[in-house]
Structures are given as C-alpha cells and as structure tokens.
Amino acid sequence: MQMHLYLIALVPPEPVRGQVWALKQELHQRTGSRNAIGLPPHITLVPPTRQPEPFAAAATESLHRFAITQTAFEVRLQDFGWFTDRTLFVQVAEATALRQLQAALMRWCGQHLPTIRPEARPFTPHMTLATRDLPPALVPELQQDFAARFYEATFPVNSFELFRHDGRQWNSLTTFPLSPV
C-alpha cells in the first residue's frame, strides 16, 4: 500500500503570508536552504505523519466535522527565534487560542483519526523560516542579523489546511473553515 506524508497547518492570509515568504526567499538566496522554500509560511498543528492513501478521504471528512466545532481567532507574531542552531523561525507572541485549537485537534485525532500519533514534544507554535540545511558557517551571522530585526504582525485564523507531500513539495489538499466569531 502506498504511503504519503501528511501535515495539518495554519496558513496565514496576505499580507502576512507574503511577508514571511519574502523572508524565506531571502534565506534561500543567502544560504541555499531548500527547506526555507519547501512549504508556504505556516504554523504546524500536526507534524508530518506517514499514512496510507485512504487517509486523505477519512481525514478530510473528519477534519471538516472538527473545524465547525472551533471558532476563528487571531494570532500575533513578533520577532524571531531559534531552535538550537538549526531552525530559524518567526515567534508566535500570543498563543493561548492557538494552543487551545491544537490541543482540541489532538484530542479529536485521538478519537477520530487514531493513526495520527500524539507528538512526544510539547507544542511550540512558530513559523519556520529555514531549518536543518542551514550552512553551519552562516548561522552566527544569521543569528546576529535576525536578533537585530523587528517583525510584528497579527492575522485572523479562519481555517487550517491538510497538506500532502508528493515527493518533491507539499501541496494543500483541503482547507477547513472554522466557525466565525
């Protein structure tokens, strides 16, 4: 049976999407990082999970039912951070509603999509700019550069998306609208 990688994430609307994409492009041009441009700007809710082909249909139906139980909210981004010296990201400054959505989603998956395993690491909301393939020699310069930068944005979260990797890139399969406020 053919297996695919799936991911569930929030994708910010414009202009935030374009602003963060420009940062990812800058990092790709400066460092050659392919991971910087492999996926549109997003906040991961469920990390990549390898699932058989029928998962897409089951997940789509189940996630639609979940989404209507959730209310739209706002996310505020502010400045940049690092996970060790491998991952540069935009920090999520106000994450209470986002943490609640992710926790509810994981509970839902536990009941309705049990092949999605609970994440061992705690949920740390962020928007990755580049990861894993940053050249180590450039990291100190990047750390200094991004420590001196200021970035702030707020965006409405009205939906989340299911992505599938096709072997080369991530593609959005379905968008799941949340209930309006």
CA-based torsion, 96, 147, 11, 6: positive or negative: negative
Number of domain units in the chain: 1
DSSP β-bridge partners for residue 162: 8, 174
Residues with Cβ within 8 Å of 88's Cβ and at least 6 positions away in sequence, in order, are: 27, 80, 81, 82, 128, 129, 130, 131, 134, 142, 146
* Pair 12, 155: CB distance under 8 Å: yes
108 pLDDT higher than 90 = yes
pLDDT (0 to 100) of residue 94: 79
- Judged against a pLDDT cut of 90, whether residue 95 lies above it is answered with no
How far is the C-alpha of 79 from the C-alpha of 97, rounded, in Å?
19
Instruction: Tell me whether strands 73-83 and 87-94 are parallel, antiparallel or unpaired.
Output: antiparallel
pLDDT digits (tens, 9 = 90+) for 38-73: 888 999 999 999 999 899 999 999 999 999 999 999
CATH number of the structural domain spanning residue 26: 3.90.1140.10
Rounded to an integer, the average pLDDT of 86-106 is 94
Range of the domain at 158: 3-177
Rounded percentage of the chain residues whose pLDDT exceeds 70: 100
**Exposed/middle/buried for 5, CB within 10 Å: 0-12, 13-18, 19+?**
middle
In this predicted structure, what is the pLDDT of residue 37? 84
Q: Give the pLDDT confidence of 139-155 residue by residue, as tens digits.
A: 999 999 999 999 999 99
